[in-house]
Chain A
Amino acid sequence: MSSGLLSIGVSGLAAAQLGLLTTEHNVTNASTPGYTRQRTVQTSLVGIQTGGGTVGQGTDVVTIERMYDKYLSAQVNSSQTKLSETDAYYAQISQIDNLMADPAAGLSPALQEFFKGVQDVAANPSLLSSRQAMISSAETLVSRFQSLDMRLDELNNEVNGRIEDNVGLINSYAKQIAELNQRIVIAESSYGQPANDMLDQRGQLINELNKLIKVTTPSSTNSGLNVFIGSGQPLVIGTQTMEMTATPSTADASRMVIGIKTSAAGASVELPDSLVIGGELGGLVKFRNEVLGSTTNELGRLAASMALTFNAQQALGQDLLGRAGTETGFETEFFSMAALKPTVIANTSNTGTKTISVSFADPSFGGTDGNFYTNLTTSDYLLTKTGAGYTLTRLDDNEQWSGADIPALSGLVSSEGLSISLSSTGAAHVAGDSFLIQPTRNAAENLAVNAVIAADPRTIAAALPFRTTSTASNTGSGAISAGTGAQGFNLSSLATPITFTFVSGSPNTLTYAGGASGSVNYTSGMTISVSGMSFVMTGVPNNGDSFKLERNTAATTDGRNALALGKLQTQNTVAGGSATFQTAFAQTVADIGIKTRELRVVGAAQESALNQAQISRDTLSGVNLDEEAANMIRYQQAYQASAKILDIGSQLFDTLLQLG
């Protein structure tokens, strides 16, 4: 009887003690990340059947269980990986957003200042000081382009660095998970009890891993938890880990790409960016693909369009020394094009060794304003050798052009503002060889003012190489306008002046002879274009009246070409003649702003989703100190009560002894 009392009392003491231990464990881990509160699971021992009924035998602690729900934890993990992705993306893009934000430091003020300089030259073409000021403002513009580009380049380096760091972390987490897998299996198989705290630790590592990249963990097997990334690439299988790598891309060495080694000694296989989802890595890769590349390209397109259109207009002019066209000493380039050309990167796994070179096509001329414009896009291109020839793919939208050979293909892609050529030496390409073409990626970096012009402001072509004159002996009222330059100007046609003679008749005609000859029907107000020179004729000339187009010798106060250069500011010069420099830049700023704003909103929503998931989980798994305090009292009192049972048992025993 009394031995029963003692054993019941002892079972109660043991249960209360375990309860107290578990409570203390909970209290001390109240703020441990990933900790799941534990509790003892207590059952009554099966009683002994007697004539007087079933006599209870005390209590037993079956196990210490975690208050854990894998669905709630999975929810936290998936919310976490989405938020981490958005956060990483936002952290990067907001740097560009801030860069564009300052109205005083962006591209716009330098652009405005530059065109002011051009206008000044138009107003005072003979003043060297105006010309010098225009060159200075051009150099300011160039350095603004370069510093913006450098900032974007730094961001690219930052992304590369972060990718490397994160890959290192992922590998270390993967190893820890594999180790825990092993220890958990051993622990659980030895005692047949759950390894609560190691399970928590593993769960926390999975959560940390999800902050870096989205992982999936199908239900654990006997050998532990398996971890997969992307579309099912294994990271941890039981106690084995696959090593993730960060290596320069074979297509573009300036980009770190993520790879995975399927065996310890094996080569790393590049994971396509589309498989890098979630977490900080997902955010970085998304940022690089959606924003960084295209922003660098937009900036480069602006720089290239600026250089191409400005140079094309400069080439139509005449400098202060009276030189034009192909004459020795005349500079046809205001912005140096030596370094400013599309980048071509041969894939390092190519077989053929022939080189591909790509250059900018000459800018188009026309539009409502009659100005130069470029057709460049902000996309990168992939040139691939196929069995039938070559295929060029615009990577933004996968539009494709195919040609039997490079010249045929080059003819097709002039609509993209590019021209492609192939070297004659080297081994021929084989199907599968590819080249990444980045027309504008490095344009902003390589923009420069022509050194000759920078050194000698007189070489700015502010004047036009021709002028119009009406002959003094004309008797009619015909008048000829000053004239403007247009594409196709050919200086040689001015070797001798072109004389236009009016011949009355029906219809009236203007016949011209000299450097160029021909005849046009005359109506007052008509625009006449000859060899890239155009002018307007008005009034009623008399038969035999004549007008002349001649070389504009000694034209120091002619600013017509500078006026045309100045007009490029407000003309549609970019994107196939659909945007001005400024509106194209504004579009970029708006795109970045819209994306940043979207991420800010999405981030806020994801944060509250994560909070909700965490609250749900904590509601079940989190430690409440007040609750633990109450439990402590409860187990203390249970302990005291059980001790009292022992006391009573002992007293009963004493009583019996006294009887004897």
Chain B
Amino acid sequence: MRISTAQIFDSGSRGIGRNQVDLYKLQNQLSSGRKNLTPADDPVAAAQALVLTQSKEVSAQFIKNQGDARGKLSVVETQVGAVGDLLQNVREKLVQAGNTTLSNSDRSYIAKELEARFSELLGIANAQDGTGSYLFSGYQGALKPFSVDQSGAQYAGDDGKRLLQVDGSRQMATNVSGNELFQNIRNGNGTFVTSTNGNGTGINKGTGVIDQGSVTNPADWNANHPSKIEIRFSVVAGVTTYSLYKDSDVVPFSSGNNFVSGDPIALEDGSTNYGASVAIEGQPLHDDSFVVKPSTNESIFTTLRSAINTLNKGVGSVASGNSTTQYVNDFAGQLQQIDQALENVNKIRSTVGSNLLELESLGNSGEDLQLQYASSLSALQDLDYAKAISEMAQKQLQLEAAQLSFKQISQLSLFSIL
């Protein structure tokens, strides 16, 4: 085979050029630390890296949101805790005030103290967070949620949940609405509420005190309960009997039942069982009446206000509408209501607590995920230095060999020795 002189030069410089390109690429890889300098080096890895980068960023955003949520929930938790402490204190005062041997002036002192608690509670209910938004007003963060009125306080906020995306498929409420914490507290025993219903136009004359009752069959109650059940006593010739009326009926559905103090009175209408019973202790007089109504929501403020009113009303006589029996009956109801409020606060506290716990575990798994994404990204993008450096040494050797051999061969010319 013959070869042209140009070929010798061409192939020599081509070989050197090729080695230089390889070295240039290696040098770029080494200085940037990236395995793939452009997507063309590994298109699939480039696309994967983009998708992974977003996953990593999104997961980092969730971790940040979790931090936000934790901050907000911690503030809520502190305030809910304060409400709990306050209600505990109120409960102690009420237990103390329940003692019928206290004088009316003692009661008014307690009433004054409760008045201070009332204001304190109102302060908590209208608390603001660091950015000036009200904590317990739902969506209406700029709106002061509670204002005092005659029956307690008026709630102007809503049920709005301030949601944060704390994980791909988890939105967490970072607030508790005023309704949840202060307003929506079931009165009575949670199913129905008992109270005195008066004797004619006045209050009950006897010493009958009604308990909070018990639900014997929730299904029956749910299915059959009327809007109210009245228990009206009749004392004829020393025999105390009671009749049961439902709704606004004037004819009792059950009458002439013998009354024994403290025995449960089953609320039944012939074959229709309302699934509930109450007990009345003491001796009611003729026409004394009690009423059982389905539970509704009562505001803590209303409860506090009624308690203060009861205390201020004091204890007097049947004629003046503030008999001891009435006081005991009213007080039993209010104390029970405070217990319900406490239970509600504890329930919310535990919800907030379990949310905080969930955030913690989400945070942990989020951090793990971050590490995983980072190592996957590194595997896709980062250069294996050991491999690259040894490759560099090899290419260097090749380039030197190419240069040297070119030098030797290019010097071979017949002209130079003729």
Rounded to whole angstroms, the CA-CA distance of A340 and B43 in the bound complex is: 31
> Nearest Cβ in chain B — how far from A386, in angstroms?
41
Interface stretch of the complex, out of B86-94, B101-109, B157-165, B247-255: B157-165
Q: What is the 8 Å Cβ interface bit string for chain B, positions 135-154, against chain A (1 contact, 0 not)? A: 00111111100000000000
Give the residues in chain A near B381, CB-CB below 8 Å: 103
Whether a CB of chain B sits under 8 angstroms from the CB of A570 is yes
Question: Does A596 contact B47, Cβ atoms closer than 8 Å?
Answer: no
Question: Does A473 contact B296, Cβ atoms closer than 8 Å?
Answer: yes
Rounded to whole angstroms, the CA-CA distance of A630 and B140 in the bound complex is: 102
Give the residues in chain A near B413, CB-CB below 8 Å: 625-626, 629
Whether a CB of chain A sits under 8 angstroms from the CB of B42 is yes
Rounded to whole angstroms, the CA-CA distance of A103 and B137 in the bound complex is: 44
Rounded to whole angstroms, the CA-CA distance of A582 and B414 in the bound complex is: 65
Question: Does A97 contact B38, Cβ atoms closer than 8 Å?
Answer: yes
Q: What is the 8 Å Cβ interface bit string for chain A, positions 541-567, against chain B (1 contact, 0 not)? A: 010000000001111111110010011
Whether a CB of chain B sits under 8 angstroms from the CB of A44 is no
Q: Choose one: B54, B133, B137, B414; the contact of A630 (CB below 8 Å).
A: B414
Whether a CB of chain B sits under 8 angstroms from the CB of A468 is yes
Give the residues in chain B near A580, CB-CB below 8 Å: 54
Residue of A nearest to B53 (CB): A108
Residue of B nearest to A627 (CB): B2
Interface stretch of the complex, out of A120-128, A192-200, A443-451: A120-128
Whether a CB of chain A sits under 8 angstroms from the CB of B319 is no
Residue of A nearest to B51 (CB): A586
Give the residues in chain B near A474, CB-CB below 8 Å: 296-297
Give the residues in chain A near B40, CB-CB below 8 Å: 94, 97, 592-594, 596-597, 600
Residue of A nearest to B6 (CB): A622
Question: Does A592 contact B159, Cβ atoms closer than 8 Å?
Answer: no
Q: Choose one: B58, B138, B158, B414; the contact of A629 (CB below 8 Å).
A: B414
Rounded to whole angstroms, the CA-CA distance of A31 and B9 in the bound complex is: 10
Main secondary structure, interface of A, reads: helix
Rounded to whole angstroms, the CA-CA distance of A376 and B84 in the bound complex is: 57
> Nearest Cβ in chain B — how far from A435, in angstroms?
35
Q: Choose one: A37, A108, A556; the contact of B141 (CB below 8 Å).
A: A556
Q: Choose one: B47, B140, B173, B179; the contact of A586 (CB below 8 Å).
A: B47
Rounded to whole angstroms, the CA-CA distance of A542 and B218 in the bound complex is: 12
Question: Does B159 contact A470, Cβ atoms closer than 8 Å?
Answer: yes
Whether a CB of chain B sits under 8 angstroms from the CB of A172 is no
Given A473-B297, A596-B40: A563 in contact with B51 (beta carbons within 8 A)? no
Q: What is the 8 Å Cβ interface bit string for chain A, positions 216-252, against chain B (1 contact, 0 not)? A: 0000000000000000000000000000000000000
Given A94-B38, A467-B160: A611 in contact with B140 (beta carbons within 8 A)? no
Question: Does A126 contact B65, Cβ atoms closer than 8 Å?
Answer: no
Residue of A nearest to B417 (CB): A629
> Nearest Cβ in chain B — how far from A23, in angstroms?
12
Question: Does A586 contact B7, Cβ atoms closer than 8 Å?
Answer: no
Residue of B nearest to A318 (CB): B139
Given A558-B139, A596-B40: A625 in contact with B415 (beta carbons within 8 A)? yes
Question: Does B418 contact A633, Cβ atoms closer than 8 Å?
Answer: yes
Whether a CB of chain B sits under 8 angstroms from the CB of A635 is no
Whether a CB of chain A sits under 8 angstroms from the CB of B238 is no
Give the residues in chain B near A557, CB-CB below 8 Å: 133, 137-142, 160, 162, 175
Q: Choose one: A463, A470, A629; the contact of B139 (CB below 8 Å).
A: A463
Interchain residue pairs A-B with the least CB separation, the first 8: A622-B4, A593-B43, A593-B39, A557-B141, A596-B40, A590-B47, A555-B139, A558-B139
Residues on B close to A: CB < 8 A? Answer: 1-7, 10, 14, 37-44, 46-51, 53-54, 57-58, 61, 64-65, 68, 131, 133, 137-143, 158-165, 168, 171, 173, 175, 179, 183-184, 222, 294-297, 381, 413-415, 418
Residues on A close to B: CB < 8 A? Answer: 30-31, 37, 94, 97-98, 100-101, 103, 106, 108, 111-112, 115-116, 119, 122-124, 126-127, 463, 467-470, 472-476, 480, 482, 540, 542, 552-560, 563, 566-567, 569-570, 580, 582-583, 585-587, 589-594, 596-597, 600, 611, 614-615, 618-619, 621-627, 629-630, 633
In addition to A119-B65, A474-B296, 8 A-B residue pairs with Cβ atoms within 8 Å of each other are A463-B139, A467-B138, A474-B297, A480-B159, A592-B43, A597-B40, A614-B10, A619-B2
